[in-house]
Amino acid sequence: MKALFKHLNFYPCGSTLLAVLLAIPQIPLQGSIFSQKVLAQQTSCPVGTTQATLNWGTTNFQTANFNQTFDIGGVSTNFQMTENPAGFIRDQSPENSPGNLGAVPYGVAPGPYGGINSPYLRWGIDATQSPQGSATLTITFARPVTLPVPLTFLDVDRDRPDEAPFQDQITITAFNQGQNVPVTLTNIGSGAVNQIVNGNIARGADPRVLPGNATNNSNVGNVFATFAQPVTQIQIIYQSGPLYTEGQPRFTAPQQDETIGLADITICAPSATGSIGDTVFNDTNGNGQQDPGEPGVGNVLLTLTLPGPDGQLGTPDDTTQTTNTNANGNYSFSNLPAGPYRVTVTPPFNLPDVTTGGGRQTDVTLNPGQSLDNVDFGLRRPPGGAIGDFVFIDRNNNGSPDTGETGIANVTLTLRNNTGQVVGTTRTDNNGNYLFTGLQPGNYTVEVTQPSDFTATTNTTLTVNLTEPNSENLNIDFGFRPGQAGASGETNLRIVKRITNALRNGQSISGVSFNTFINDPNSNDDDRLQQAGRSPVGQINLQPPLNSGDQVEYTVYFLADGTQQLQNTRLCDLIPAGTSYVSNSLSVDGINNQGQFLSPLAPLQDFADICGGSNNQGAVVVGPANIPGGQTGLIRFRVTVD
C-alpha cells in the first residue's frame, strides 16, 4: 500500500488505496517485484465490436465533480460517485479535521500502484467518522458492453502490525438493463493479503496475512472481477470491513482516512456503425408511398430517439438527436451502433397529415453495420382547398415578411365564406403559421384578431378566391409592429428569466428541452416577448436534480414595450446562493452595453438601489444604457453548482 505521508497526532498514517482496471497490464513474469499470477484469459470482443479504452492520463477529468460522462469508443459512459453519509468521501490531512476535504480530493493520480504504473481515479473515505459509511462508484454504459478482460482491483488489504487498524472491503454488483449479472471475484492465490466472501465481496484477510498492507509495487492485494454477461451498469461499494462494524467492533474504528481508485477502462465498443434515413415526400394521392412526380419536402425536422442504459424506448433515460431534410427531402442519421431506434417527423404547417404507416413516429432495429434507407414519411394536407400562411412582426414596416422577421404565436384568425358565415377559426403556431383546410371552391375572407400592443402594417381582413377543387392560396400574410397606433404613454421594460441549458461534463443534461416556450400562467411578460418576436424559450423550473460541478445557463430576456426610448436603464441579477459565476460567460444582445460581473462582496456602485439583497455570490450588471422602444434583447451567463 502506497503511503500518503499523512499522520494523526499519535498514529502513523497507513493509508490504503484501491484502484480498478479493466485492461490487463504488461506484467513481467520473472525477476521482478511486479510478478503476478494471471487468473483469467483475455476474451475476444463480439463480432461487430472492437476494444476501446478510456485512459485517465489523457482525460479531461473535473476534480471533485461527482457525476461525469465520458465517451469510450462511441459508448457514453457515466461515472457517478455517491456517499453515505454526506461528506464521507474525503481525504484527511493534519490541517483538516475529519469530514473536511483535505489535500487529496477526488481526482486522477499517477501510478505505480498494485504493480501497475498508470494513472488511476482516486477518492477517499473519511474512515474516522462514526457511524461508518460507504462510498459507491456507479459506472453506467449507454448500451450493453462486454468487458474483454477482468476488472483488476488494487490494494484490497489490511494494516501492518505497526499501523493504525483498518480493513478494506469492496462489494461488486452488475446489471444488464436492470437484470442482475453474476460477478465472480478471485485473488492471486498464495500470498494474497485478502479473501473472497460470497463470490462478489473482497476484504482484507482475517486473520491478517503478512505483510497485511500491500505496498505500491506489490500485487498481493489485487482482486479480479469477471462478469457472466454483457453489462450496462457496475456498482463498486467501498467501505471498512466488518472488523469495524459499528456497535460490535473487534477493535476501534480506523484512525486514518482511506482511498479508492479506478484505472484505465477497456470495453468492447461497436465498430460497425450503420445509418437510418430516406425521404420525406409530398404524398399528393395519400397512398402512403412515394410515386413518380411526388416531390420531396425540404427543411422538415426529424428526431432520432436512442434508448438509455435501460435499453427501452420511451423512458426518461432516452437521448435524442435531430436533423432536417435537404432540398430534395432526403435525410440521414449516421454512425449509429446496433440497437433499437425511434424516428419522429415534425410535419410543416402546410402538410399536417402523415400518410405512411405508424404516423409521426417509426420504430426500427438496426443491425451492426446496417444501413436502413427505407424509413420514409409521406405528408399531405387534407383533401379540399387550403388557405393560410404567416402572421409576422414587420420590423421595417413594409407590409411584407422579410428575412429575419419572426412570426407571432397564438394569434386568432377567422375564415368566412361569401355570405359572411364563419367557416372556421384557428390560431398561429409557435412559428406564426396558420392553415385552413378542406375548403370548397369559392370566395373567402380571412380576418386576423390584432394582438394587443401591436399595430397592423397590412390589412387585417384579406379576400381569397379558390377557383378549383383542391386549390390553395398559402400567401395570406398579416404584418404587425410592436406598439399601439398613437400610443404616447411610458414604455414598459418587460423581463423574463429562463434556464436555457444545464451541462454535466460539458454536455447538456438529457431529457430536458431548453428550446421550448413555456407559458407562465402568472405573467403576460413572456406572451409579450413571444409576440414581439423574441420567444423566451427555456425552463422555468429544472426538474432533474443538479450535482456539484454542473453548470447552469440563465437567460434574461427583455422587451422595451412601447414606442418611447428607455434612457439610462440599469439591470442587475444576483448570482444564486450555492453557485459560482463562470468567468467570461456573460453575453449581452440588443443593448449598447456589454455588462460586467461584480465579484462577491464588491461594492454595487450605481446598482445598489436595483440589485436588492446582499452581494454574497456576485452579481451580473448591465447599463446604464438607452433602449429604443420595441427593442428586444437578452442577457446570458452561466454558474457552476458548488
Domain boundary among 464, 482, 500: 482
In whole angstroms, what is the distance from residue 231 CA to residue 598 CA? 48
Please give the Cα distance from 297 to 282 (Å, whole number): 6
Per-residue model confidence (pLDDT) at position 604:
60
Q: Domain check: are 278 and 265 in the same one? A: no
Are residues 407 and 286 part of one domain? no
Q: How many domains does the chain have?
A: 4
CA angle, corner 115, sides to 109 and 121, nearest 5? Answer: 25
Cα four-point dihedral sign 458, 463, 467, 473? positive
* Residues 264, 280 within the same domain: no
Looking at the domain assignment, is residue 1 inside a domain? no
What angle (nearest 5°) sits at the alpha carbon of residue 276, between those of residues 273 and 281?
A: 160
Residue 407 lies in a domain: yes
Q: What is the CATH number of the domain that holds 466?
A: 2.60.40.10
Q: Does the CA dihedral 500-390-424-438 come out positive or negative?
A: negative
Residues 319 and 290 in one domain: yes
CA–CA gap between residue 611 and residue 619 (Å, rounded) = 8
Contact 165, 243 (CB under 8 A): yes
Q: Which residues of the chain have pLDDT under 70?
A: 1-43, 64, 86-106, 124, 126-132, 164, 244-260, 272, 483-490, 544, 601-610, 612-615
Domain membership flag for residue 519: yes
Predicted confidence at residue 303, as pLDDT, reads: 95
Task: Among 380, 398, 426, identify where a domain stops.
Answer: 380
Report the chain's C-alpha Rg in angstroms: 32
- Specify if 222 maps to a domain: yes
Q: What is the 3-state secondary structure (H, E, C) of 520-584?
A: CCCCCHHHHHHHCCCCCECECCCCCCCCCCCEEEEEEEEEEECCCCEEEEEEEEECCCCEEECCC
The pLDDT of residue 565 is: 83
Tens digit of pLDDT for each residue in 244-273? Answer: 654 555 544 444 556 667 778 889 887 767
Q: How far apart are CA 402 and CA 397, in angstroms?
A: 10
pLDDT tens digits, one per residue of 569-578:
888 888 888 8
Q: What pLDDT, on a 0 to 100 scale, did the predictor assign at position 573?
A: 87
> pLDDT, tens digit, for every residue of 336-368?
888 899 999 999 989 999 999 888 999 999 987
Q: Which three cell numbers stand for residue 525?
A: 411578460
Last residue of a domain, one of 270, 285, 306: 270
Shared-domain flag, residues 330 and 265: no
Within this chain, do residues 354 and 435 fall inside the same structural domain, yes or no?
no
Cell matching residue 282: 409530398
57 and 195 belong to one structural domain: yes
Beta strand 301-306 with 454-456 is unpaired
CA-closest candidate to residue 477, choices 408, 385, 382: 408
Do 103 and 209 belong to one domain? Answer: yes
Please check whether residue 531 lies inside any domain of the structure.
yes
Taking Cα atoms as reference points, which of 125, 127, 156, 151 lies closest to residue 139? 151
Nearest to 557 by CA among 594, 526, 531: 526
Name the 3-class secondary structure at 611. Answer: helix
Q: Is residue 9 part of a domain?
A: no
Distance CA 185, CA 226 (A): 7
- State CA 180 to chain mean position distance: 27
Q: Is residue 13 part of a domain?
A: no
Residue 11 placed within a domain: no
> Which residue segment(s) compose the domain that 608 sits in?
492-641
Which candidate, 74, 66, 26, 31, places its Cα nearest to that of 50? 74
Q: Which residues pair with 354 in a beta bridge?
A: 379
Shared domain check, 390 and 359: no
- Cα gap 305→318, rounded to integer Å: 7
As a whole number of angstroms, the distance between CA 2 and CA 18 comes to 10
Identify whether residues 356 and 418 lie together within a single domain. Answer: no
Taking the C-alpha atoms of residue 179 and residue 182, their distance in angstroms, rounded to an integer, is 10
The pLDDT of residue 235 is: 95
Cα torsion at 405, 411, 416, 421 (round to 10°)?
Answer: -170
Residues 370 and 397 in one domain: no
Same domain, 498 and 477: no
Closest CA to 145 of 271, 10, 301: 271
pTM confidence score: 0.50
181 pairs with which residues across the strands?
Answer: 174
CATH number of the domain within which 573 lies: 2.60.40
User: Which residues, including other chains, have CB under 8 Å from residue 414's CB and lie 6 or more apart?
Assistant: 422, 424, 425, 446, 447, 449
